[in-house]
A and B are shown apart, each in its own frame.
Chain A
Amino acid sequence: MVMFAPPTWPRFHLLLSHLSDKGFSQPLFFLLISSSSPIRSLVSSMSERRFCQEDDCSSLLSRLGSDSPRPRMKFGGMFCNVEGAFENKTLNFESFSPQTQRRRTAPTQTGGQDGGDAATGRTMVFPSGTTRESYGKREGDRLIIKGGKIVNDDQSFYADIYIEDGTVRQIGENLIIPPGVKTVDAYGQLVIPGGIDANTNLHVPQKGLNPADDFYQGTRAALCGGTTTIIDHVLVEPGVSLLSAFDQSRETAEQRACCDFSFHLDITRWHEGLYEELETLVKDQGVNSFLFFMAYKDKYQSSDSQLYEAFGVLRDLGAIAQVHAENGDIIDEEQKKLLSLGITGPEGHVLSHPEEVETEAVYRAITIAKQANCPLYITKVMSKSAADVIAKARKKGIVVYGEPITASLATDGSQYWSKDWATAAAFVMSPPINPDPSTPQYLTSLLACGDLQVTSSAQASFSTAQKAVGKDDFTLIPEGTNGIEERLSVVWDRAVSTGKMDENEFVAVTSTNAAKLFNIYPRKGRIAVGSDADIVIWNPKEMKTVSATTHNLTVEVNILEGLEFRGVPTVVISGGQVVVEDGKLSVTEGSGRFVPRKAFPDFVYRRIKARSKMAEARGVPRGNYDGPVHDVISMTKSVPPTPTTRGPTCPKIVTGPRNLHQSGFTLAGAQIDDHIPRRSTQRIVAPPGGRSNITSLS
């Protein structure tokens, strides 16, 4: 190709623009650029200007939706296979940064001094200094992670990471450390994007009880386990305004949380009137996911009609529907039955929430979502059969995602029959942890093959004293288990160290997929220039034993007590700050920021949009039915309201007026279009029964 001929200047310019017009992959430029230094400096100075301009607005999220997934293809494509491609140069991760458009990019802060660097094979890093003003309190906080293997969901490679102002600024080999920058040594370890826990309930009261671990305790535990972003649920009690519930939770979280957070809203009573609030939430408040309950009869449960309506609205708004999938009607009956049998202990919980009830609801939710053409996210996949239903639906092309949780991946429900009430009660959650001991392995396998996509914790911890509210009646036990801290370790131990999953998939299921689904990618869930500096240094070899005495939550029972997991975070960086190092936790209460999420995540909505266009049903243009019509005399009496609220059709169309109307056309002798023959034929076709609406469809 022409590219490798030493180009003359104008011609090269043309080539550049030509290539970029065609959308050629970015890295190709750098082959060119590195071979011709004058141009390189020019390009870099160009983009430097741009970069500074854009930075003022700190519009990190401005284009999130529009261009996220594309870079991955380019990056993973041809270029990384070229041998030695990474040597001597800074990878152009800028192209993945959400800040800059792809075409304009270039290694920005690399040593402008061309020759020298290349010779030494090192890249100089210049702190950008004081021009930035975005993240006030992180001002000037600079870090470099050296020697680690960066693991993203698509590939792994060795590179150093330079972090400034809570953002990844530079990734490359052999970055030169400017003075005054803290170095974190990651030799021999993995550098992964911080985990995203897409399902926590740190502020969701149940039956009047607040969880034992609130935003502070919960996020501390999250950080210790390598999770740097949580998406918490806001439960909106029936009758309460969505916005006010959201504001209240957000306020609490801003005061208390130690890591970044975002929110799902749990809608407990759907009605049309919620539309405006939903719209505000989605468009202005950065919430793009809403949970509905198919369980908790007479309390939170939504009917199929409500779900269908709500899903339709969410689809139009570009949000993701989540469901707590269990058949509340059946559970209710089963609970009554068990209590009447005299079973009041925690084992009654699992007996009254059998697996099929979960499976059935998952199936139904998927059916409804398919009908409404809305993306669906099943929270808390706890059983094999529920997971199978999801996997099968995905095979049929339905846009559905499944989320197993720490508990379902790590343990089984045999403990419900524990003789110790407190232990048994600690496991109480809905859907319950499955008593089948092969469930964790099975779910892990589906996770590894992509049939399930996201792991979360469903963290909702209640102290034993709180659980004991239901000591005489299992239906009163507040539901929830811990798991926020152990999540990453569980997945590593159960999936990666057993060989089911590789490290990239590990990153995908613990972080990247959640980021993509909920539209915070690539700000979260990826180590790339421009992404948030939420980074975990992962030691895959170390072992840790889980125990309530050593964990960071306040609850006194850990459902994973005594289990040993391989793989622990050694260093955790959240928002550019080292929060965990050498097993020590140093967090600031309230340092977490709210992460707004935009509507229409590409990862989810591309297909939905295309299907919306395709799915338009068409009527059949028919001649009118002109046969006899059975005379219905007392229609109103015997027909209870038919499902449609449309007006009743007039059973008989009187022919007289219609014909008169038609004859109006021909009354006035000569017409303009008399010469057109079709006119007369039309008259013949006109049926005695009058015209029918059906024909107007064609």
Chain B
Amino acid sequence: MSDCRRQWNREDELPVYLAGPISSGPNQRKSYGMFSSVEGAFDSKTIDFDSYAVGRKGSRTPRSRSRERILDSGDPVEKTPGDAREGSQTNSTGEIDGTGTERGKSLLQGGDGIKLLDGRLLIKGGRVVNDDQSFYADVFIEDGLIMQVGENLVAPAGVKVIEANGRMIIPGGIDVNTCLMKPYLDTQPVDDFLQGTKAALAGGTTMIIDHVTPQPEGSLLEAFERWQEAADKKACCDYSLHVDIPKWNETVKDELEMLVQDKGVNSFQVFMAYNDLYQMTDSELYAALSFLKELGAVVLVHAENGDLVAKEQRKILGMGITGPEGHPLSHPEELEAEAVFRAITLGNRVNCPVYITKVMSKSAADTIAQARRKGSVVFGEPITASLATDGSHYWSKNWAKAAAYVTSPPLSPDPTTLDHLHTLLACGDLQVVGSSHCAYSTSQKAIGRDDFTLIPEGVNGVEERMGFVWDKAVAMGKMDENQFVAVTSTNAAKIFNLYPRKGRIAAGSDADIVIWDPDSVKTITAKLQQSAAEYNIFEGLECRGGPALVLSQGQIVYEGGKLQVQQGTGRFIPRKPFPDFAYQRVKFRNQVKNSQGVTRGMYDGPVYEVPSMPKYITPSPSAKTSPTSHQPPPIRNLHQSNFSLSGAQIDDNVPRRSGHRIVAPPGGRSNITSLG
């Protein structure tokens, strides 16, 4: 563990963003809390968000220094691996001089490179909503970064000013579960990185974490690179990648290590479902979890009991049910809950954080909630579909419609599920909202028109994600706006170690910002969506709340319903291992959890003689030698005497030999003493 930490620090190319968060994440929040309660603290001064700025220690906060620090933060940014961002580097120097306050000045002196005008933005008069608090402040953006957050910032000439008019300014959403390139048979989802990220931005999501799904025989690294390449060309918003582990074996280990150490991947998905394809046995899962824990990665689990799903599928097909309704029938809720329970148990045993992707049913969610109450480090991710609709549509008479809902685990047919999931989300029992966006066209879905097991699995939802959480949770009074930010953005950033670069509006964070309009109402329909799929599973649902304006990397990409994006502007965001949010507890538990043996005297009573180790005993779990220990039967004695037969031995001079001989108990030697 410590090794890889060191390695990271040595590498200078890495963005400084990622250097700080581990040690300074949660601590700062506390100091922030105190400060904000001082009355009038915000009046006419810039809140010292610098202390939250990524890349520096929280302890050094005096404002006088902030200037230099802004400078500092500018530099490492340019060194981020994604070359794409070079283009968006903007300049700003002279023009701003002489404006406004002292602070304004200091800010402006900050950037001394040559920068373009359009790189700077001031959002005025909005209410900044973070996961911990909301306050009125202006946000000044430069070079794709938030440079300053404070009241009454004065706009320098030439800086574009956006009037927020009291609307909410929230950190852009992070969708941690998309599959924009997941191959099925020989087809790819209709929403690739371009379509998918366009849809994401239109919905207020400014970052996605996509799943790399290598073939069972394929190399993880190769697949990763393929995905990265495709995304670099097409993605319009920042992205990062999870890697799915299709099969557990020794070669995978090296690749995993490389991915974590060099490629900036800190999360891997394992499957408990897809019998004979991706499914891992409990032993493999145990091994995988142990290994990934050592690497400091977050383990995502697709939790369904694949064995039973396969049996049920066969049964349902045997009954002559071939339509999409066979899908939920063969994936009953219990199998999901069971696998979640098992995954959590495994996580507890290994002491590894477990992240359950796609929580689709009440019982699975309850299982997670209960485990958290018992102290397990487990996170649950409901998705747009499970939060906004239910599985009754599987029984639709329209095949295309029914098939559009096919995803695994399936949507629960219980219509009260979504309400329940929202409640758990609001109270923190579930933490993150994903979308599991994986859109196949109807003709692709129709591959399984005669056999539901062949229908490619996946639903849309990347675009609707934020809107439905607002509509069903915040607008209903279940959740407040801060929690809304937490579940749509901040928690994900923390779990996957993107915080505070993403998931927060603070000086130094990326300028992924959404101005949220809580009152806009729109009706979801496939006609108006960005996604290329011809069917939207939320078709006809009304949704309150939506983005009025979306900034990605400091650029306005969505305003008033219009999307202006540039293909390939998305950067790959590397993520470091050992996210504090998941691993802090794990580390402490590691220290505490060492089991200890009992120091005993040797057992010197009689030992039953096992006639012959019966033939049916498969290799006993321990590879240690079976006890050398039977009651001194003749053969054994002979064997022992063998040692002393040949007079002088090489190591005769070593004294332990004789000592050893004396200690040897009548019942044979025992390992027990070695514990003391």
Query: A interface vs B, CB < 8 Å?
Result: 207-209, 237-239, 297-299, 303-305, 308-309, 327, 329-330, 332-336, 338-339, 341-345, 347-348, 351, 354, 356-357, 359-360, 363-364, 367-368, 370-371, 417-422, 424-425, 463-466, 468-473, 475-476, 616-625, 627-630, 632-635, 638-646, 648-651, 692-694, 696-697
Asked if B608 is at the interface of the complex by the 8 Å CB criterion, the answer is yes
B309-347 contacts to A, CB under 8 A, are 309-314, 316-317, 319-323, 325-326, 329, 332, 334-335, 337-338, 341-342, 345-346
The answer to whether B325 touches A468 (Cβ under 8 A) is: no
Closest to B345 in A: A360
Give min CB distance, B191 to chain A, whole Å. 15
Given A304-B308, A472-B671, A621-B397; 17 other pairs, CB 8 A cutoff: A208-B611, A327-B345, A344-B671, A357-B349, A367-B337, A469-B607, A473-B626, A476-B627, A624-B399, A629-B447, A633-B186, A634-B186, A638-B183, A644-B310, A644-B314, A648-B451, A692-B449
Asked if B610 is at the interface of the complex by the 8 Å CB criterion, the answer is yes
Q: A643-B453, A644-B453 are in contact. Are A473 and B627 (CB under 8 A)?
A: yes
The answer to whether A469 touches B603 (Cβ under 8 A) is: no
Closest to A634 in B: B186
CA distance A661 to B613 in the complex (A): 69
Give min CB distance, A619 to chain B, whole Å. 4
CA distance A347 to B672 in the complex (A): 11
Q: A336-B622, A339-B622, A421-B672 are in contact. Are A622 and B397 (CB under 8 A)?
A: yes
Asked if B281 is at the interface of the complex by the 8 Å CB criterion, the answer is yes
Asked if B101 is at the interface of the complex by the 8 Å CB criterion, the answer is no
Q: What residues on A are CB-neighbors of B91 within 8 Å?
A: none
Closest to A478 in B: B608
The answer to whether A347 touches B598 (Cβ under 8 A) is: yes
The answer to whether A630 touches B447 (Cβ under 8 A) is: yes
Q: A371-B332, A471-B627, A628-B443 are in contact. Are A336 and B595 (CB under 8 A)?
A: no
CA distance A640 to B279 in the complex (A): 12
Q: Which of B310, B403, B629 contacts A305 (CB 8 A)?
A: B310
Give min CB distance, B290 to chain A, whole Å. 8
Most buried by B among A465, A621, A644, A648: A644
Some 29 contacts from A to B, beta carbons below 8 A apart, are A297-B621, A305-B308, A327-B342, A327-B345, A333-B290, A333-B349, A343-B675, A344-B675, A345-B600, A347-B597, A364-B338, A367-B308, A371-B334, A465-B606, A471-B627, A473-B624, A473-B627, A616-B319, A617-B321, A619-B319, A623-B397, A625-B399, A630-B443, A634-B186, A641-B276, A643-B309, A644-B453, A646-B451, A692-B449
CA distance A646 to B672 in the complex (A): 55
Give min CB distance, A303 to chain B, whole Å. 6
Asked if B32 is at the interface of the complex by the 8 Å CB criterion, the answer is no
CA distance A298 to B282 in the complex (A): 13
The answer to whether A367 touches B335 (Cβ under 8 A) is: yes
Asked if B395 is at the interface of the complex by the 8 Å CB criterion, the answer is yes
Give the A-B pair count, Cβ closer than 8 A. Answer: 292
B280-295 contacts to A, CB under 8 A, are 281-283, 285-287, 290
Q: What residues on A are CB-neighbors of B402 within 8 Å?
A: 620, 622
Give min CB distance, B545 to chain A, whole Å. 34
Q: A303-B307, A644-B310 are in contact. Are A336 and B186 (CB under 8 A)?
A: no
Q: What residues on A are CB-neighbors of B277 within 8 Å?
A: 640, 642
The 9 tightest CB contacts between A and B, nearest first, are A329-B282, A643-B310, A304-B307, A649-B450, A343-B597, A619-B321, A367-B338, A360-B345, A625-B399
CA distance A648 to B317 in the complex (A): 12
Mask: chain B, 510-543; 1 = CB below 8 Å from A; 0 = not: 0000000000000000000000000000000000
Closest to A642 in B: B453
Give min CB distance, A650 to chain B, whole Å. 7
Q: What residues on A are CB-neighbors of B670 within 8 Å?
A: 471-472
The answer to whether A360 touches B447 (Cβ under 8 A) is: no
Give min CB distance, A444 to chain B, whole Å. 23
Q: A304-B305, A465-B605 are in contact. Are A475 and B322 (CB under 8 A)?
A: no
Q: What residues on A are CB-neighbors of B611 within 8 Å?
A: 208
CA distance A389 to B616 in the complex (A): 34
Q: A364-B305, A475-B622 are in contact. Are A619 and B325 (CB under 8 A)?
A: yes
Give min CB distance, A347 to chain B, whole Å. 5
Mask: chain B, 430-451; 1 = CB below 8 Å from A; 0 = not: 0000000000011110111111
The answer to whether A468 touches B607 (Cβ under 8 A) is: yes
CA distance A638 to B281 in the complex (A): 22
Query: B interface vs A, CB < 8 Å?
Result: 183, 185-187, 215-216, 274-277, 281-283, 285-287, 290, 305-314, 316-317, 319-323, 325-326, 329, 332, 334-335, 337-338, 341-342, 345-346, 348-349, 395-400, 402-403, 441-444, 446-451, 453-454, 595-603, 605-608, 610-614, 616-622, 624, 626-629, 667, 669-672, 674-675
Q: What residues on A are CB-neighbors of B313 within 8 Å?
A: 643-644
CA distance A342 to B621 in the complex (A): 15
CA distance A465 to B276 in the complex (A): 45
CA distance A468 to B631 in the complex (A): 10
Q: What residues on B are CB-neighbors of A419 within 8 Å?
A: 598-601
The answer to whether A472 touches B627 (Cβ under 8 A) is: yes
Q: Which of A336, A466, A471, A645 contacts B629 (CB 8 A)?
A: A471
Q: A335-B621, A693-B450 are in contact. Are A632 and B275 (CB under 8 A)?
A: no
Q: What residues on B are CB-neighbors of A367 within 8 Å?
A: 305, 308, 334-335, 337-338
The answer to whether B608 touches A463 (Cβ under 8 A) is: yes
The answer to whether A308 touches B307 (Cβ under 8 A) is: yes
CA distance A420 to B605 in the complex (A): 11
Q: What residues on B are CB-neighbors of A209 within 8 Å?
A: 608, 610
Q: What residues on B are CB-neighbors of A335 within 8 Å?
A: 621-622
The answer to whether A330 touches B185 (Cβ under 8 A) is: no
The answer to whether B283 touches A630 (Cβ under 8 A) is: no
The answer to whether B597 touches A208 (Cβ under 8 A) is: no
The answer to whether A473 touches B671 (Cβ under 8 A) is: yes
Closest to A335 in B: B621
Q: What residues on A are CB-neighbors of B451 within 8 Å?
A: 644, 646, 648-649
CA distance A638 to B215 in the complex (A): 9
Q: What residues on B are CB-neighbors of A640 within 8 Å?
A: 216, 276-277
Closest to B612 in A: A208
The answer to whether B607 touches A471 (Cβ under 8 A) is: yes
The answer to whether B305 touches A630 (Cβ under 8 A) is: no
Closest to A365 in B: B338
Q: A646-B451, A692-B450 are in contact. Are A476 and B319 (CB under 8 A)?
A: no
CA distance A348 to B675 in the complex (A): 12
Closest to A298 in B: B618
The answer to whether A371 touches B185 (Cβ under 8 A) is: no
The answer to whether B620 touches A475 (Cβ under 8 A) is: yes
CA distance A632 to B313 in the complex (A): 22
Give min CB distance, B233 to chain A, whole Å. 24
CA distance A667 to B614 in the complex (A): 76
Give min CB distance, A464 to chain B, whole Å. 6
Q: What residues on A are CB-neighbors of B215 within 8 Å?
A: 638
Q: A207-B614, A643-B310, A644-B313 are in contact. Are A469 and B627 (CB under 8 A)?
A: yes
CA distance A361 to B626 in the complex (A): 29
Q: What residues on B are CB-neighbors of A371 within 8 Å?
A: 308, 311-312, 332, 334-335
The answer to whether B349 touches A330 (Cβ under 8 A) is: yes
CA distance A629 to B334 in the complex (A): 33
Give min CB distance, B515 to chain A, whole Å. 40
Q: What residues on B are CB-neighbors of A304 within 8 Å?
A: 305, 307-308
CA distance A635 to B451 in the complex (A): 14
Give min CB distance, A148 to chain B, whole Å. 45
CA distance A656 to B532 in the complex (A): 32
Closest to B310 in A: A643
CA distance A424 to B215 in the complex (A): 49
The answer to whether A309 touches B311 (Cβ under 8 A) is: yes
CA distance A299 to B616 in the complex (A): 8
Q: Which of A330, A343, A625, A642 contacts B454 (CB 8 A)?
A: A642
The answer to whether A693 touches B319 (Cβ under 8 A) is: no
Q: Which of A339, A360, A473, A697 contacts B342 (CB 8 A)?
A: A360
CA distance A466 to B630 in the complex (A): 10
